[in-house]
């Protein structure tokens, strides 16, 4: 009896120890190293790094720019996302499922691909404008190379994020709260303004905070649109410093990345303050309110919504594909001049590009498989455990993803710049440092759906196995894993899709031989080879669509809300 109990406790301890080790390695260690670089450079307390950073004009300009595009992008995304959420959730528009799929898709496409696609729509070399004979004369600046352009694309990129969060909130709105207002004499506009939107405050503010953090940390869009215009934000400033200065400027960029982290944190803290100022808790559950009858406005509104899809999804993708078919700069695209050479070139001829496909494949597969297997025990402890430190645990796993990617990239760089102690293994300048950063950053994407899955599972299933005499690891293997695997795998798939075209982290960590697809697209575009960048991007968009389709095939086995594009 005591032997058995000992074994049980041993398994419990092993699980706890494993999870603590994981948190330390992938969350606490890199963050601690980053802070140390800023406050305790070389082990000595000093404020020099901070002072040097603060007296630099560039820092202030980049910070200001970061705030401008961050707030601008957030506001635009909020307006668009909330408006669409209202229409989809509260009115009687048709074809909702298809519309939601199309509207959310930009979120699945990497920001630098979005940026590239939009760039192909405007400017003198736009194949679409050239075909239509509307292209501006050569030498005209692309209007997207501007802060307005960055704000616009950030808004489009993250409006689906706002939409998803607000839509989820609106689904929980019980119809009685709306009907009580209606029978008090309030018309629809009034109900929307005084009841529905105020009750959605937590969702809207939460979405705003998340969008703000995403906008502030976004690298792809300001890199493609801002660098040519010499409009630098903090992530692009860090990239330029690092690309120009190498490891010598590490303290500098460490300070800058902490600065981004602080800005992001301010956003999160403000969300918390606003959301807790009033009571928005909806306690009852009920059917959703009857949809508002648009009447004669139904068809115009529906047309408007699909026009929006054409604008934010179809048009840029058309631009992207057209560019990928162009023979060379300035050649007008026609049926005769169209070519697949660019695709052939990037897949077979360009060494770095073909290497990058494999690298990204291995990296994202590795990150997602690791995350699936870690998420299951981790989710078990978070969802079903009764330990007091669980909240802190959850926070620690959220941190590397909640903070902008640049922060984690710089932290990883600092952590692995020197060979690891004892083993002497050097992973800096190899593909392994990127893998480490991916593991740390994306783990939460698999943990979240897994926790949702646990909450929807009856714990008695596990307890029945326990009563039957199964130890913790046996239960994990035979009961929990089979039941929770679909949710965790869906999370893994999200990681795979996100990591496949990832740029923010890999742009700072790549080296020759460890290029990723994101880096290759970026390099092609920087070198003026838009057609090659477009070809790689088109391949990646197609891959993304295929993966979405694949995931949708087993959607009915998944907990609700795990696949973001399914309404």
Partner 1 sequence: MAGLSIKNVTKTFGEAKALDNVSIDVADGEFLAVLGPSGCGKTTLLRMIAGFETVTGGNIHIGDREVSSAEANVPPEKRRVGIVFQNYALWPHMSVSENIGYALKVARVPRAEREERVKNALALVNMEQYGDRRPANLSGGQRQRVALARCLVAEPRLVLFDEPLANLDVHLRASMEDEFADFHKRTGTTILYITHDQAEAMALADRIAVMDHGRLMQLATPRELYHEPANEMVASFISQGMVLPANVETAEADGQCRVTVLGQELVVRCRKGEKPRKDARICCRASQIQSVGTSQPGFEGTITRAVYRGGSARIEFEPEAAPHLGLHFDQPDPVSFAAGERARLAITSGWLIPADGAA
CB of 162: closest distance to partner 1 in angstroms?
Answer: 20
The verdict on 185 binding partner 1 (CB under 8 A) reads yes
| Distance in angstroms (rounded) separating the CA atoms of residues 50 and 58 | 14
The one-character DSSP state at 314 is I
Quick one: 91 or 201, whose CB is closer to partner 1?
Answer: 201
Contact predicate 270/209, CB 8 Å: yes
Residue 174 makes contact with partner 1 by CB under 8 A: yes
Find residue 91's DSSP bridge partners: 292
What angle separates helix 201-217 from helix 57-90, to the nearest 10 degrees?
A: 140
What does the alpha-carbon distance between residue 264 and residue 29 come to, in Å, rounded to a whole number?
A: 20
CA triple 223-229-233, angle to 5 deg: 45
Pick the closer one to partner 1 by CB: 186 or 315.
Answer: 186
Chain centre to alpha carbon of residue 27: 18
- Is position 513 an interface residue for partner 1 (rule: CB under 8 A)? no
Where does this chain touch partner 1 (CB under 8 A) — which range of 188-196, 312-320, 380-388, 523-531? 188-196
Minimum Å gap between C-beta 287 and partner 1 is: 11
Piece of 60-68, 138-146, 177-185, 463-471 that binds partner 1 (CB under 8 A): 177-185
Q: Which is nearer to partner 1, 153 or 195 (CB)?
A: 195
CA atoms of 19 and 542, how far apart (whole Å):
37
Q: Which is nearer to partner 1, 205 or 232 (CB)?
A: 205
195 binds partner 1 (CB under 8 A): yes
Find the binder of partner 1 among 54, 131, 180, 307 (CB under 8 A): 180
Cβ neighbours for 82, distance < 8 A, ≥ 6 positions apart: 162, 163, 166, 200, 204
- Please give the structure tokens belonging to residue 110: 């990497």
Return the bridge partners of 292, or none: 91
458 binds partner 1 (CB under 8 A): no
The 3-class SS string of 33-45 reads: HHHHHHHCHHHCC
Contact call for residue 274 and partner 1 (CB under 8 A): no
Closest CA to 448 of 556, 368, 376: 376
Report in angstroms how near the CB of residue 567 gets to partner 1 at its nearest: 22
Residue 402 and residue 266: Cα distance in Å, rounded?
Answer: 12
Region of 140-148, 197-205, 233-241, 263-271 interacting with partner 1 (CB under 8 A) = 197-205
DSSP secondary structure string, 364-377? HHHHHHHHHHHHHH
Sole residue written with tokens 């969300």: 271
Q: Choose the binding region for partner 1 from 175-183, 438-446, 526-534, 552-560 (rule: CB under 8 A).
A: 175-183
> Is 284 an interacting residue with respect to partner 1 (CB under 8 A)?
yes
The number of residues in the chain equals 567
Looking from the CA of 115 toward its CB, the CA atoms found within 13 Å total 29
Quick one: which segment of 87-95, 107-115, 119-127, 282-290 binds partner 1 (CB under 8 A)? 282-290
Minimum gap (Å) between residue 456 Cβ and partner 1:
24
Burial, 491: exposed, middle or buried (Cβ in 10 Å; 0-12, 13-18, 19+)? Answer: buried
273 lies in the binding site for partner 1 (CB under 8 A): no
Piece of 102-110, 280-288, 311-319, 378-386 that binds partner 1 (CB under 8 A): 280-288
**How many other C-beta atoms are found inside a 10 Å radius of the C-beta of residue 209?**
22
The footprint of partner 1 on this chain (CB under 8 A) covers a number of residues equal to: 27
Work out whether 290 is an interface residue with partner 1 (CB under 8 A): yes
Q: Are 76 and 161 in contact (CB under 8 A)?
A: no
Choose, by CB under 8 A, the member of 2, 44, 183, 512 that binds partner 1.
183
| Binding residue (CB under 8 A) for partner 1 from 279, 423, 458, 469 | 279
Read out DSSP for 241-305?
HHHHHGGGGHHHHHHHHHHHHHHHHHHHHHHHHHHTTS--------PPPPPB--GGGHHHHHHHH
**Minimum distance from CB of 87 to partner 1 (Å)?**
20
Q: Does 275 bind partner 1 (CB under 8 A)?
A: no
Task: In angstroms, give the least distance from the CB of 176 to partner 1.
Answer: 4
> Applying CB under 8 A, which part among 146-154, 181-189, 238-246, 441-449 lies near partner 1?
181-189
Residue 295 engages partner 1 in binding (rule: CB under 8 A):
no
Stretch that binds partner 1, among 17-25, 64-72, 196-204, 438-446 (CB under 8 A): 196-204
Closest contact distance (angstroms) between CB of 396 and partner 1 is 31
Using CB under 8 A, list all residues that contact partner 1. 174, 176-177, 179-187, 190, 194-195, 198-199, 201, 278-284, 286, 290
């Amino acid at each position: 009896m005591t032997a058995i109990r000992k074994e049980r406790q041993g398994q419990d301890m092993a699980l706890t120890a494993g999870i603590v080790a994981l948190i330390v390695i992938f969350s606490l260690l890199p963050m601690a190293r980053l802070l140390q670089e800023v406050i305790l450079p070389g082990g000595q307390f000093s404020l020099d790094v901070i002072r040097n950073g603060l007296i630099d004009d560039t820092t202030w300009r980049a910070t200001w720019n970061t705030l401008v595009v961050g707030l601008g992008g957030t506001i635009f995304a909020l307006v668009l996302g909330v408006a669409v959420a209202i229409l989809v959730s509260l009115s009687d528009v048709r074809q909702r499922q298809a519309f939601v799929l199309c509207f959310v898709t930009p979120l699945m496409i990497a920001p630098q691909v979005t940026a590239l696609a939009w760039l192909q729509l405007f400017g003198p070399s736009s194949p679409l404008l050239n075909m239509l004979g509307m292209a501006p004369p050569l030498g005209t600046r692309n209007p997207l190379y501007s802060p307005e352009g960055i704000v616009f694309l950030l808004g489009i990129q993250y409006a689906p994020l706002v939409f998803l969060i607000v839509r989820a909130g609106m689904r929980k709105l019980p119809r009685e709260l709306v009907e009580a207002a209606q029978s008090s004499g309030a018309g629809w506009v009034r109900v929307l303004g005084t009841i529905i939107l105020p009750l959605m405050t937590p969702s809207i503010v939460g979405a705003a905070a998340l969008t703000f953090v995403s906008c502030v940390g976004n690298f792809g869009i300001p890199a493609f649109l801002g660098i040519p215009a010499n409009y630098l934000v903090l992530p692009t400033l860090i990239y330029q410093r690092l690309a120009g200065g190498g490891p010598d400027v590490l303290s500098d960029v460490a300070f800058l990345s902490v600065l981004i982290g602080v800005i992001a944190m301010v956003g999160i803290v403000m969300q918390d303050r606003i959301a807790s100022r009033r009571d928005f808790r909806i306690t009852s559950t009920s059917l959703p309110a009857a949809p508002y009858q648009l009447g004669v406005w139904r068809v115009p509104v529906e047309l408007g919504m699909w026009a929006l899809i054409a604008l934010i999804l179809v048009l840029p993708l058309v631009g992207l594909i057209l560019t990928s078919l162009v023979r060379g700069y300035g050649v007008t695209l026609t049926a005769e001049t169209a070519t697949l050479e660019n695709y052939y070139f990037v897949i077979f001829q360009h060494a770095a590009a073909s290497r990058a496909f494999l690298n990204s494949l291995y990296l994202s597969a590795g990150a997602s498989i690791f995350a699936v297997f870690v998420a299951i025990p981790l989710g078990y402890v978070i969802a079903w455990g009764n330990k007091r430190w669980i909240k802190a645990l959850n926070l620690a796993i959220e941190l590397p993803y909640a903070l902008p990617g640049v922060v984690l990239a710089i932290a990883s760089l600092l952590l692995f710049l020197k060979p690891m102690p004892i083993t002497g293994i050097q992973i800096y300048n190899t593909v392994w440092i990127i893998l480490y950063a991916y593991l740390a950053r994306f783990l939460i994407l698999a943990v979240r759906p897994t926790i949702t899955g646990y909450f929807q599972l009856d714990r008695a299933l596990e307890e029945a196995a326990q009563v039957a005499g199964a130890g913790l690891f046996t239960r994990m293997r035979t009961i929990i894993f089979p039941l929770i695997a679909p949710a965790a795998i869906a999370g893994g798939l999200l990681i795979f899709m996100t990591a496949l075209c990832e740029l923010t982290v890999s742009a700072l960590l790549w080296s020759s031989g460890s290029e990723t697809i994101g880096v290759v697209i970026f390099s092609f575009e920087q070198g003026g080879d838009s057609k090659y960048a477009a070809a790689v991007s088109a391949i990646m968009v197609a891959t993304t669509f295929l993966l979405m389709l694949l995931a949708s095939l087993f959607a009915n086995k998944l907990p609700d809300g795990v696949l973001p594009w399914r309404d």
